[in-house]
Structure 1
Amino acid sequence: MSILLAILGIGFLLFIHEGGHFLAARWCGVTVEVFSLGIGPRIAGFRRGDTDYRLSLFPFGAYVRMAGDEPGAPPRPGHLNTQPPSARLLIFSGGIIANFLFAIISFPLLFHAGVSFESPVLGKIQSGGPAWQAGLQEGDRILSIGNEPVLGFRHFSAAIGLSQKGDVLNLMVSRNDSSPQKFRLTPHFNERAGMPRAGVDAAFVPAVAPSIAAEESGLEKNDVILALDGIPLSTPLIQRVLLESLPENEGVIEAEILRGNQTLALTLTPKPYPDPPSRIGIWEIADEIEGFKSGALGELRVGDRIIGPDTKPEDLERAPSLRSINDLLLLVIKAGEMPALIIEREGKRISTPAFNTSPEKIASSIHLRA
C-alpha cells in the first residue's frame, strides 16, 4: 500500500509540473492539443476548445502535447515553433515554476495542520560505538547540535551523515527530563555504509500489530503495556529489552496494560517469529568483555567470558547461554541487580557475586565482543 501511495504521490507532483507547462503555453497563446492525467491509452475525458482533457489508463504521471512541438512541424500561428525565445523559455520553465509555487503554498499549510516527525530520542546504543564512547544513553533526547535545534531523529542522523572525518559534534541532551547536559560526539566513518555513523538507532516505539497472537491474548491496537511479569516498563531500555525478548519466552506472561483510562491484567502467550528461508539457526555470540568505559564493575574484568547466571552448583559445567548484551541486560532487569554469574577467566570457570547496578549502567559501561 505504501508503495502505491508513493507512486500516486509522484504522479500528482508530475501532474502539477505538467500543469505549469499547460498554463504557460496557454498564457503565451500556444495551442495545447492534449492535457492528460496519467499516461497510456485514453479512458475518459472531454474536449474544450482545441484541447482534449483526458484521463489515461496508468495514473502514474501526466503529459502535455502542444501544437508544433514535433521536430520538423511546419510553422503556423499558435504553434510552439513560432514563439519567440522568451515565450519558449517561459513554457519550458513552467513546470519547474509550478512545482516551486506548489511547495511554497503547501509547506506552510502542512506545518500548520501538523507534520509528524520521529522524535529525536535515542534508541539502542551500540556498545563500543561513538555514541557509547560519548556517554549517551538509550532514552536521551537530543535538544540541539551546536547552535541548531533538533526537531526530529532525521535531523540528528543528517548531522551525523554530513559530518567530516574528525568532526566533534557538541550536543545538548535531556536525560530523564532533567536539566540539559553537554556531550561531545565524534562520528566514525563506516566503511560498509560508506558514510559516518554514530552507532545509535532511533527510539524503540512499541505498537500492537494486528495478529492472531495479539487477538488471542486480548491486546488491542492502542493498548499501552505498563508491566510484564510484575516488572514495570519504567525506562526506554527496560521497555525495549523486555518487549524484544517476548518471542523467545516459552511460557505465558502476565501483563498489566492501560486501555484508555482503565488498567487491565492480561495473560500473553508469545509466539516466536518464523525464521526466514535465509536463516540457518546460527548466531554470532558476543559474550566476552572487551572493555569498560569507566572502570570495572563488581568483580568482572576485561577478557572475562560470561557464561550465564549462577543459580545452582552444577552451573559451573553449564553450556554458555549468553548471546549478546541484551541477554545480560535481561538478567539485570529480572533480578533487579547483576546476579551472580558464571564466567570463564584464563581458561577456568569461576563464580562472581551479585552486585547492585541498573541495566542503564551496564549498557553504558560494558562492551562485549564476539
Structure 2
Amino acid sequence: MEMIQVVFLTVLVFFVLVTIHEFGHFYFAKRAGILVREFAIGFGPKLFSIKRGETRYTLRLLPAGGFVRMAGDDPEIVEMQPGQTVGLRVKDGKVTRFYLDRLDERSQIVRGEIVKLDIERELFVTLDVDGDIERYDVHPQALVMTRGQETQIAPVDRQFGSVSTGKRAMAIFAGPMMNFILAFFLFALYLQMAGVAVEHPSKVFVSGTETGAPAAESGLHKGDWIKTVNGAEIGGDSNLLIEKIQASAGKPMEWVVERDGQNVTINVTPDKATGKVGLYLRPEMRQAGFFETFKFAGTTMADMTERIFQSLGKIVTLDFKLDDLGGPVRTADMTAQIAKQGLPELTSWAAVLSLYLGIFNLLPIPALDGSRLLFIGLEAVRGKPVDPNREGMVHFIGFAMLMLLMVVVTYNDILRLVKN
C-alpha cells in the first residue's frame, strides 16, 4: 500500500507541475482571442482525449512535459485548393462544415468544385455546382472533416501570429509565471504544514526512522514524543538525547515515549560500531502566522532561485560531470524518496521543482519559452517578425538537441539506478 501511495504522489507532483504550466499558456492565449486547438499533458501517442468547446484535451503516453497547440503555430492545417471537389454543410446561410472525402456517404450537403476560397480573412467559398457558380459565407468556427478527423478553421484574427506582441509574450510567459506562483503557494503551504520551531522547546519528537536501523526495529514511530531515556527526562534538549545514545553504543536503553496520549516503553540498542540508532528528530513546533508564512515563502524562493542559477552557471561554464545532471528518471526517483518522508517534505520538494521548471523554461534555449520570448522581443524592436521558417528551424534544432541530451541523461540515470 505504501508503494502505491508513493507512486501516486510522485505522478501527482509531475501532473500538477506540468498542468499548471500549460494552463498559464492556455488561459492567456484564450484571453488574447487565440484559437487553442489542443491542451496536452505528455508527449507521444494519445492515451485519452476529449473535446470541450474549441479545444481538445489529451493525455499522452510520455509524461515528460506537455504543450498547448495554438492556431497559426501548428502543422495540422488541412489544405483546400481551387479545383478540389468538396461537400458543404450549410446552416443559416453559412458553411459550418467542409467535407473532403466520402462525399457519396454524406447527406444534406452541397457538393461542388472549389472556384475560389478564403477561410482566413474574408471567410467565403465559391463553388461550381453542376455548372452554376455559387458563393457561400463561411462560419468563423467552421470545421474541416477528412479521414475521420475534424479541424477547426482559424481566421487570421484567431491565429497566434496575428495578435499584438504584448499578448503573445504574455501567453508564452504565463507558463513559467504560473510555476512561480505555484512555488510560492507550495512553500507557504509547507510552512503551514510543518510549522515553526518553538524558541524554547520543551519536547523532542521522532520525525522518522531509517529502514532496518535500531530505532525502526525497536518500534519507534514518526510523531512519538521522547519523554525519558534510562529514566532521565529529555525535555526539549535533542543534544542531550544524542549524547546519551552515543554513550550507550551496543548497550540496551529504555525509552519512554508518548504516543496517542499513552506512555509507551521501548527498548533501543544503539549500533555498537557507530553509536547511532537511525533516528530523525524534530523540535516542538508551533503554527506559523500569516505574515510569517508570506515572508518565508518569499525568502525561500529567493534563496532557491540563487541556488538554481548557481547550478545553471556551472553548466554554462562546463564545470560539471554527467552524473551531476538528472533527467526525468532521476527526478522521479528523488521525488519518490522524498514522498516517503511525508507530505510536508513532498510539498517543499514540489515547490522547488516548480520554481526550477519556471526558471529553466525562461532560458533563451531554442524550443523553450525563453527562446520564443526572445524572438517576440526581436519582432517588437525591428517592427516586423523574424522569418517564420527560420524561427521554426531554430526551434526544431533546439528541440532535437534537448531530446538528445534527455536521452543521454536518462540512459545515465537508468544505469545509476541499476548499479544502486
TM-score by structure 1 length?
0.40
Instruction: Report which structure shows greater RCO (CA 8 Å, sep ≥6).
Output: 2
